[in-house]
Amino acid sequence: MADAAAFRSLRRAAAVARKEAIHLRRDWRSLLLALAIPVLLILLFGYALTLDLKNVPTVVWDQSRTPQSRNFVSLVEGSAYFELQAMRQSERQLRADLDAGRAMVALVIPADFAERVAAGRPVTVEAMVDGSDANTSRLAARYARSLGLIFNRRLTVDTKPAGVTLVSRAWYNPALRSPNALLPGIVAIVMMVIAAMLTSVTVAREWETGTMEQLIGTPIRAGELICGKVAPYFVVGMADVAIAVGLSRWLFHVPLRGHPGLLFATAAVFLTGALFFGLTLSIRFKTQVLANQVALAAGFLPTLILSGFVFAIENMPAALQYLTYIVPARYLIAIMRGIFMKGIGLQILWLDALLLFVYALAMIALARGGLKLRLE
């Protein structure tokens, strides 16, 4: 009897899944958008968003006009971080370039540059940096200071004995490529967007069209209804994960050093929680527009800002750092980066995976309990 009851329950859930799949197939625009989102995000974050700062527009006012000062200018020209736009003749011209946005860095080489260098005396090269973009200007100022260090090293290499040299090495990402750091986290962004866009409206649509009353009149249970509602979107979501991983791997050459099976398994757990999160909102709010807006605000934005995807959690205020513990994407991004970049497994990532599992169970319970109350 128990087996027969389970079979009937499975058939009812499958019937709801078929109904939802038919609707999804008819709404081909939403399906096409759901499959295009990972492609768009991968291209956007892979090409447009970068944590590297290169080819900073730079202008120089060389008051010395000596071979020594020209050697310093050659450092600017030969650096991958700076792009020499023009040589200027006055500070007024430098300020005009900074004001107009033609330059981000303006270097002023003093008139006594050569004399001070020849005498071994300290010499100051002024670097004026456009501070309207704080993060970019901070990096630009740091790169400008490195020019002085390189120039000093050239001067002293033949005149002073070797000292202590610090050699740094970046593990897992030796070239410090931005795509290697950003694209593994795209999986979390993609799945949260899909959940917000698709499942957040699925039950609200039933209320708006009046078909929810028909479902209430059937013998279907709350658990069967929510499982059937989510099943087609789970397939779409896992297809999006495969697209995101494939594009990251073969288009941007992000290394995948860990086990792909673990990657997709943890992604599936997170996707389950994200889908039922969207479904919970759809149950709570009976209009599609409101449910979708709340899903984007409560799901997508915290995932983007508070997960450590772009902004380091360690640099956030203490209150926000505590808040990140309730953002499930934080744990998935740690898992994705660990699998992609470090090649580690559950022996290290078990706690993050466990918290994702708890998140998925909590969302399932919330969706089931909320729908049960609505049906009653």
DSSP per-residue codes, 222-286: HHHHHHHHHHHHHHHHHHHHHHHHHHHHHTS-----S-HHHHHHHHHHHHHHHHHHHHHHHHH--
Query: DSSP string spanning 143-209?
Result: HHHHHHHHHHHHHHTTTS----------SS-TT--HHHHHGGGHHHHHHHHHHHHTGGGHHHHHHHH
Residue 57 backbone dihedrals phi, psi, to 5 degrees: -60, 125
Q: Give the confidence band of 375 by pLDDT, cuts at 50, 70, 90.
A: low
Exposure string of 191-217, with b = 16+ CB inside 10 Å and e = fewer, is bbbbbbbbbbbbbbbbbeeeebeeeee
Question: For residue 208, is pLDDT > 80?
Answer: no
Residue 68 inside a domain? The answer is yes
Do residues 264 and 294 touch, judged by C-beta distance below 8 A? no
323-342 pLDDT, tens digit each: 999 999 999 999 999 999 99
Question: For residue 215, is pLDDT > 70?
Answer: no
206 and 346, same domain (yes or no) = yes
Cβ burial of 219 (10 Å; 0-12, 13-18, 19+) is exposed
Q: Which residues span the domain enclosing 252?
A: 21-49+177-375
Q: Give the confidence band of 165 by pLDDT, cuts at 50, 70, 90.
A: very low
Q: Stretch 212-219: mean pLDDT, rounded? A: 67
Nearest to 73 by CA among 55, 81, 61: 61
Pairing of strands 105-109, 56-62: parallel
142 and 191, same domain (yes or no) = no
Do residues 124 and 112 touch, judged by C-beta distance below 8 A? no
Q: How far apart are CA 373 and CA 263, in angstroms?
A: 36
Q: Identify the residue with better confidence: 77 or 120.
A: 77
Residue type, 232: P
Q: Give the confidence band of 148 by pLDDT, cuts at 50, 70, 90.
A: confident
236 and 338, same domain (yes or no) = yes
Q: Give the confidence band of 163 by pLDDT, cuts at 50, 70, 90.
A: very low
The alpha carbon dihedral of 3, 9, 15, 16 has a sign of negative
Residue 141 inside a domain? The answer is yes
Q: Give the confidence band of 1 by pLDDT, cuts at 50, 70, 90.
A: low
131 and 279, same domain (yes or no) = no
Q: Identify the residue with better confidence: 48 or 291.
A: 291
Q: How far apart are CA 305 and CA 311, in angstroms?
A: 7
- Sorted by sequence, the CB contacts under 8 Å of residue 220 that are 6+ apart come out as 12, 16
215 and 84, same domain (yes or no) = no
77 and 129, same domain (yes or no) = yes
- Sorted by sequence, the CB contacts under 8 Å of residue 169 that are 6+ apart come out as none
Question: For residue 304, is pLDDT > 50?
Answer: yes
Residue 164 inside a domain? The answer is no
Residue 33 inside a domain? The answer is yes
Cα-based distances in Å from 185 to 43, 53, 130, 215, 373: 14, 21, 31, 38, 36
Helix 260-284 to helix 186-197 angle (10° resolution) is 30
Taking the model in full, what pTM does it have?
0.79
Cβ burial of 359 (10 Å; 0-12, 13-18, 19+) is buried
| Domains of the chain: total | 2
349 and 273, same domain (yes or no) = yes
Q: Stretch 51-73: mean pLDDT, rounded? A: 84
- 105 forms bridges with which residues in the sheet? 58, 129
Residue 173 backbone dihedrals phi, psi, to 5 degrees: -145, 70
Query: Tokens 């004399």 belong to which residue?
Result: 115
Question: For residue 158, is pLDDT > 60?
Answer: no
Residue 296 inside a domain? The answer is yes
Residue 284 inside a domain? The answer is yes
- Which pLDDT score is estimated for 30? 77
| CATH code of 133's domain | 3.40.1710.10
191 and 246, same domain (yes or no) = yes
Cβ burial of 185 (10 Å; 0-12, 13-18, 19+) is buried
21 token code pair: 């799949």
Other Cβ atoms less than 10 A from the Cβ of 236: the count is 18
196 and 323, same domain (yes or no) = yes
Lowest model confidence (mean pLDDT) among 197-201, 284-288, 371-375: 371-375
Helix 28-43 to helix 222-250 angle (10° resolution) is 40
Do residues 342 and 356 touch, judged by C-beta distance below 8 A? no
Residue 81 inside a domain? The answer is yes
41 and 76, same domain (yes or no) = no
